[in-house]
Amino acid sequence: MLTKRIALILLLVTLLPVPALGSGVSGSTGLFHTPTADVMPVGVLGASIHFSEDWITAGIGYGLLDVLEIGTAVRLKGGAVAQVHPFIKGQILRETRNEPGVAAGIERNAAYVVLSKSLAPLLRGHAGVGIGERAGLFGGFSYLVNPVVQSRPGSLEAPRILLVGEFGGAGLNAGARLSFAQGLDINVFLRNLSEATLGASWRTRF
């Protein structure tokens, strides 16, 4: 079953060569299940789709303002709509060399505040607190393995690789995000370190 889903992701890679978007499962900018203090650029429409053994989640987000993104996600289980997750996230402070970025968001039955900050070259940390379905603390890290990618003409393109670890209401998750120059991100991670999840995200500007 998962093999068919992987084949669908590969088909999306070939059909949708558009700029990359760091979207999580919900469609909002973030890690996998953890939001960050980043927001989608104004005028950019992003979409994502993620598969696991039991569910499919499709999300869409839009940069309404420089500091505000909105969107929604739909989770399907057994071929039927199980949940709808509208969201809105506003950036309160932009990240600087000395200060973290800060954002606040509202989701289906949750609200949160999150901070993001560069901790070392190529390494960022993210931490937040939420209520409702995001009750308690959450956080994670992201490490860019190869910031510079060189591809020879006619050769297979090498993606940039972002290693991700996160914790929170969705458990302890770990995996990688592969970002291709033609604009597509592929997310591969283990939810609760056991459930394989595969996804893709992309964006376009209006």
Q: List the one residue out of 108, 98, 28 whose CA is nearest residue 68.
A: 28
Assign 9 a pLDDT band (cuts: 50, 70, 90): very low
Each residue's pLDDT tens digit, 31-73: 999 999 999 999 999 999 999 988 999 999 999 999 999 999 9
Query: Where exactly are the structural domains of the chain?
Result: 2-91+140-205
Across 2-16, 89-103, 171-185, which has the greatest mean pLDDT?
89-103
Each residue's pLDDT tens digit, 128-157: 999 999 999 999 999 999 887 766 776 677
Q: List the one residue out of 170, 110, 169, 175 whose CA is nearest residue 141.
A: 175
Q: List the one residue out of 118, 123, 122 whose CA is nearest residue 101.
A: 118
Largest CA distance in the chain: 50
Beta-carbon count within 10 A of 159 CB: 20
Amino acid at 136: G
pTM above 0.85, yes or no: no
What per-residue confidence (pLDDT) applies to 8? 47
Residue 73, CA distances (Å) to 30, 55, 125, 136, 163 in order: 14, 13, 25, 22, 24
pLDDT over 70 (residue 20): no
94-103: string of b/e by CB count within 10 Å (b at 16+)?
ebeeeebbbb
The Cα–Cα gap between 74 and 115 comes to 26
Q: List the one residue out of 184, 145, 153 whose CA is nearest residue 11.
A: 184
Beta-carbon count within 10 A of 54 CB: 11
Rg over CA atoms, the chain: 16
